[in-house]
A and B are shown apart, each in its own frame.
Chain A
């Protein structure tokens, strides 16, 4: 973690990624990870980026995740917190993947209400990130950009645009990135995500296991140029990818991205 000083300004933490089941059976943040954050608090900022809240589940979201977020908020001063605009749990069962939300009025009402609850509960800025759409689209009431614009209008939440996810959708479904960016209220974009992944059976997958492609960096730069309220660019990689990539390559990637994006 100390090797990151000077290369990153913000550590984005996935609360569910640093959780463990305690003796009482309760899921808590691992104290040894929280201890690592302490010495960095003077030199770095922190943000939370959840994976398992399941804000889009028709039945209920993940209360355990909220407990972890409570704990993180009481330990670290977060600049904001965020989640994926998706469903990961149905009827209390984990799907093992993220389902994108249909762009319907029903989904919009459900998610808007939950965003309102989160903002009321924490009094802190909240961002939502679009996820890749692996399955063919269900019938929709809104276009992609319009759905996000309406969500922002109803709740005041911010957005994360993931340049790599947009590229995945372009490869997998011919998604019109330019049209999407034209239609989106870019003033809501507070954060950009960058990542690299793999292609399998013709599908570009959002498994963040690689360094960033030039095309992804180029798209991020285009988004940056159009986002007046941007506060953060994040390079995402899975813990599981560290042995594959190597620490030196990751540090080199951070240096490269910093140089290219801050130029």
Chain B
């Protein structure tokens, strides 16, 4: 490996807070624990947090409410390959939240991803366990977040206009099925 390659790959690892293995470059060893590297890492993190806050406004607010924002952003950037372009970064970050156990967080992230797709003509349907209007109002104004709605679930359609359909939940005893959401051409259902 060339010296330039060795140094740049080591820097990538160090900025992402990963161990540098098999590198005996003197300069890398010298900067490994330097205050300058700490500063550089801090700047990179600050930028990422700023970008996520700006482009994923509501998801960022919810994560901050949960005390998970910094950890979620840092984990995403330290673990994954990331884009140089801010919109791709935002989309990737939102998708990274789809797999968690926090249903409200998942729905907020899916809705914001849907919003990013509107200008490309995409329609997105997102399922909610809470009334999304109340969730967004609470995030906007710093009010208390609503509880899970045990009677209804909500299907939010994001497109040129927003539509929210309220559907009575299936009876757990009878197992009565819910009507499937309408899926128009060009839509994506994020569940």
> Residues on A close to B: CB < 8 A?
16-17, 19-23, 27, 51-52, 54, 57-59, 62, 64-65, 87-97, 99, 102, 104, 106-107, 110, 134-136, 138-139, 172, 200-201, 203, 205, 207, 240
Contact = CB atoms under 8 A, between A and B. Distances in A.
B82 A93 contact: yes
A71 to B, nearest CB: 14
B160 interface: no
B39 A134 contact: yes
B173 interface: no
Contacts of B119: 20
A134 B83 CA distance: 22
Given A94-B84, A136-B31, A240-B50, A58 B8 contact: yes
B7 A102 contact: yes
A16 B89 CA distance: 12
B54 A240 contact: yes
B82 to A, nearest CB: 5
B8 A87 contact: yes
B43 A52 contact: no
B5 interface: yes
A110 B8 CA distance: 14
Contacts of B27: 136, 138-139
Given A62-B84, A97-B15, A135 B36 contact: yes
Interface residues of B, number: 43
A97 B88 contact: no
**Chain B contact surface mostly:** helix
Contact of A102 (B4, B88, B120): B4
Nearest to B122: A23
Contact of A20 (B77, B84, B87): B87
Contacts of B82: 93-94, 96
A92 B85 CA distance: 13
B81 A59 contact: no
Nearest to A101: B4
A135 B5 contact: no
A135 B31 contact: yes
Given A96-B82, A201-B39, 18 more contacts: A21-B87, A23-B120, A23-B121, A52-B84, A52-B85, A57-B8, A58-B9, A93-B16, A94-B83, A95-B15, A95-B44, A97-B44, A99-B11, A134-B39, A136-B36, A201-B35, A203-B36, A240-B54
B19 to A, nearest CB: 16
A107 B120 CA distance: 41
Nearest to B44: A96
A92 B81 CA distance: 7
B85 A58 contact: no
